Amino acid sequence: MSVKLTQGAVEALFKGSEVNDPVLQLLNIRKITGDTGPRYRLILSDGQHSLSSFLLATQLNHLPEDNLLVPNCVCKVKRTITNSLSDGRIVVIVLDMEILQSAEETGGKIGNPTLYTVDSKTSTPQKSASSVSVPASPPSAAVPGPSYRNSSAALSPPRGSGRGFFGKSPMKTSPMKASPMKASPMTASPMKASPMKFSPTKFSPTKFSPTKFSPTKFSPMKGDSTSPGSSTTVIPIAHLNPYQSKWTIRARVTNKSSIRTWSNSKGEGKLFSFETVDESGEIKITAFNKEVDRFFSLVEQGKVYYISKATLKVANKQYTTLKNDYEMTLHAHSSIVPCDDSQGVPTLHCDFVPIAELENRDSDTIIDVIGVCTTADDVSRITTKTSREVSKRALNLIDNSGKVVAVTLWGEEAEKFDGSGQPVVAVKGARLSDFGGRSLSALFSSTVMVNPDIPEAFRLRAWYDREGYALDSQSLTETRSAGSGANMNWKTLSDIKSEQMGHGEKAEYFTCLATVVYFRKDNCLYQACPSADCNKKVTDQQNGLYRCEKCNREFPNFKYRLILNANLADFGDNQWVTCFQETAEVLLGHSAETLGQLRDTDEAAFDEVFQKANFTTHIFKNRAKLETYNDECRVKVTVMEVQPVDHREYSRRLLSNIRKLAR
Amino acid sequence: MLRPRKLPRETKLWNQAFPAQCCIVQSLVTPTQQVVKMAGILDVPKPRINCSMLSQHISRPVCFVGRVEKVHPTGKTFTVADGEGKIATVELNDPLEEELSGVVEVIGMVSNKGAIMATTYNMLREDKGIAFDLELYNEALKVIQDFPQHYPFEVAASG
């Protein structure tokens, strides 16, 4: 027992001042179940004072678990960190310690340490010696606080352990047990209105076996708080969780949605949601029905508010793209107070993806992107499948990766967008789609900011002014040419057989590049009914009249129409296709009428037309479908559209395919 | 067509490339011989290159496509820029007889100074057909370089 304890160390540690490797005796150790695992609360003494506000860092958990750290052993505390909780209590976390002398060697308690107290705030004037686990009877004035009487060694249980320190430190997620142990007669104690942000509840009597410690001792420390007015200690959004109910966050609204109403079998309702951000993270907040009325006009995008008392639940990732496991719902008791002091609260939390990287992301993911708007189309109105009319505008964004992508804005945002002057546009929460390669679409929940006040915007502006404007870069959203651009399902002719295209119930549409290698010109023309819209073949009555069965009429004339069977080939395979009037005329370069006449008059010229068209290469948009023809099922391919080959676009596509394959 | 005497080194290179033509008298070369010489280079595979690949093809016949930058007043040499913007020099045997502009395709040998000794050139007219996209051509060149196993030009040409 020759080790000397460092007297005064407890006081120093509690006050947060530097102590060099103090030697302390462990009076008691208590295991607490924290959210992250077991934690050990220690009562350490320096011979003069003892303190129960010590917590063992998890990396040292093995010490008590291996029975190295037992009551009465002496240890040297090498590294600590002193935290003060939001309610003012102090806890000292022991990060590193070394056992100097075991309990057996030490014998008993060294010295006669009194429980260290600090006036005000926490702990309480302790009655030194006395104590014993005398249940209750709070001696005079308040004995709130860690009333744990320090009594003879082994017996004094660190009650209060429940009191846990929670809050920022390790225990932050200790489950809140609301109405705790009011059991304690101690309730009386006027706990200094520390607005327990985290309802201290913890004292789980569950933690203690009530037999051992009289439930009494716990500091009521709850209840009393309220009066949020006093020290609204703000916690970071990142620390929010459903297990704490008394908290306040200070955050800026980054995105406010409009009111949405719904009506389903359970009735009607309305909601609006907004996203908020603070230095630590972001979270989505939703208000329903009555709260919508209360808060919708109060909450404005871009402003900072103190928000407290809302319900936290696990986030429904379907509806939100924010990086937070939880989301908040406002209820009748929630409060939103505007905050004037908004320094430190960032304006937006964005995770921008360089445009060139978009190719590597999967389709349908939610992405943030920022770029300079090079061109913006005019706003156009389209009717959606649900026959709603909506405005849309497509703009092109380029960023310093040199790539361009098309972004589609909808509704009001499309209408108010002004793309003049090549502004820097940031879009948060846009959905990446593989429409036309790669493109982005603003969702209902996306935020579009023009010339935002963030460093990336300035960097982009500087880059663009220096070099970007001259870049003739490649757009990831190709094929905006010739309308649609959608369903340019590029295939090669060999894919038709290998993928068994057209075998399903529905017809399959695809595009390919191919060369005509043969025209079946023998039966390419037929005589059709001259009435508009009727293309039925007419039968020659041999009396100068032609009868159309569909119209049930006879005509003295007819119109020639083309049905051209051709064989297309590419590097892999060839395929017989059928071209009707329009496409055949494009391929051959002559109208059906002209061809009809040529056939009747000048055979050579007629053949010449086909010769010229033979071995020409085009882009074909086809439809493949399984058809039954007299008991025989085969896939028939019809050409829907013929387009000349744009070599540059085709080369670019090939190059990008090569690069993709090479990855 | 009179041709100035070649420097000994050049002669050696020339003879290396076209061993058949190591004739001694080089001052007066008839058009037929010129054609014959040209035919030599045309029979041989000529990889397509850009400026960055010049150094790897010294003393070899190549095909270089680039945009004409400046033509030397004598008309015997001019500079071309490739798809990456880098410049190379082309030297001709005979001075230019026409106005050269736009994209040209030059076939010749790479000298050890990195210039192209052109045997023939081909101007890709900008007023006819589709404009030549030099950057896209450069991309294609890179692909050919990156995947030589898929583009066995040497083998194909000699076959």
The 10s digit of each residue's pLDDT in A188-222 is 344 443 443 444 444 433 343 434 433 333 333 33
Asked if ipTM goes beyond 0.85, one says no
For residue A659, the chain B residues in CB contact (below 8 A) are 143
What does the pLDDT read at residue A401? 78
**Which of B136, B146, B147 faces A651 most closely, judged by CB atoms?**
B136
pLDDT tier at A554, thresholds 50, 70, 90: confident
CA distances from A628 to A373, A450, A504, A508, A576 (A): 52, 57, 13, 16, 16
Q: Containing H/E element for A30? A: strand A23-34
Q: For residues A89 and A122, is the Cβ–Cβ distance under 8 A?
A: yes
Whether A124 has a pLDDT exceeding 80, the answer reads: no
pLDDT digits (tens, 9 = 90+) for B16-60: 555 544 334 444 445 555 555 566 788 888 899 999 999 999 998
The first and second tokens of residue A104, run together, are: 């057996």
Give the closest-approach CA distance of B54 to chain A in angstroms.
23
The first and second tokens of residue A615, run together, are: 């071995």
Neighbours of A592 (CB within 10 A): 22
- Contact at CB, A662 and B139, closer than 8 angstroms: no
What does the pLDDT read at residue A189? 40
Give the closest-approach CA distance of A471 to chain B in angstroms.
12
pLDDT digits (tens, 9 = 90+) for A60-113: 888 888 888 888 888 888 888 888 777 777 888 888 888 888 888 777 777 788
What does the pLDDT read at residue A528? 87
For residue A652, the chain B residues in CB contact (below 8 A) are 136
In this predicted model, which residue has the larger pLDDT, A459 or B140?
B140
Whether A36 has a pLDDT exceeding 90, the answer reads: no
Helix axis angle, A603-613 relative to A592-601, nearest 10°?
130
What does the pLDDT read at residue B28? 46
Q: Does A648 contact chain B (CB < 8 Å)?
A: yes
Task: Return the residue matching tokens 């939703």.
Answer: A286
Whether A171 has a pLDDT exceeding 60, the answer reads: no
The first and second tokens of residue A280, run together, are: 């630590």
Q: What percent of chain B has pLDDT over 70?
A: 72
For residue B140, the chain A residues in CB contact (below 8 A) are 651, 655
Whether B8 has a pLDDT exceeding 80, the answer reads: no
- Contact at CB, A655 and B140, closer than 8 angstroms: yes
Whether B106 has a pLDDT exceeding 90, the answer reads: yes
Residue A219's closest CA among A201, A243, A238, A206?
A201
Mean pLDDT score, A443-469: 77
Q: Does B94 contact chain A (CB < 8 Å)?
A: no
Q: How far apart are CA A266 and CA A249, in angstroms?
A: 33
Whether A298 has a pLDDT exceeding 90, the answer reads: no
- Contact at CB, A648 and B143, closer than 8 angstroms: no
pLDDT digits (tens, 9 = 90+) for A588-616: 888 888 888 888 888 898 889 899 999 99
Q: How many CB pairs under 8 A join A and B?
A: 19
**Which of A472, A647, A655 faces B143 most closely, judged by CB atoms?**
A655
* Identity of the amino acid at B114: G
Chain B (5-34) residues lying within 8 Å, Cβ to Cβ, of chain A: none
Give the closest-approach CA distance of B131 to chain A in angstroms.
10
What does the pLDDT read at residue B155? 60
- Please spell the DSSP secondary structure of chain B, one letter per residue: -B-PPPPHHHHHHHHHH-GGG--S--SB--HHHHHHHHHHHHHS---EE-GGGGGGGBTSEEEEEEEEEEE-TTSSEEEEE-TTS-EEEEE-SS---S---SEEEEEEEE-TTS-EEEEEEEEE-SSSSSPP-HHHHHHHHHHHHH-TTT--HHHHHH-
What does the pLDDT read at residue B15? 55
* Identity of the amino acid at B92: L
Q: Does A651 contact chain B (CB < 8 Å)?
A: yes
Whether B78 has a pLDDT exceeding 90, the answer reads: yes
pLDDT digits (tens, 9 = 90+) for A356-366: 777 777 777 77
Q: Does B133 contact chain A (CB < 8 Å)?
A: yes
Mean pLDDT score, A380-406: 78
Give the closest-approach CA distance of B130 to chain A in angstroms.
9
What pTM did the predictor assign? 0.41
Q: What percent of chain B has pLDDT over 90?
A: 41
- Contact at CB, B147 and A658, closer than 8 angstroms: yes
Strand partners, A370: A426
b/e burial code for range A517-548 (CB count within 10 A of at least 16 → b): eebebeebbbbbbbeeeebeebeeeeeeebeb
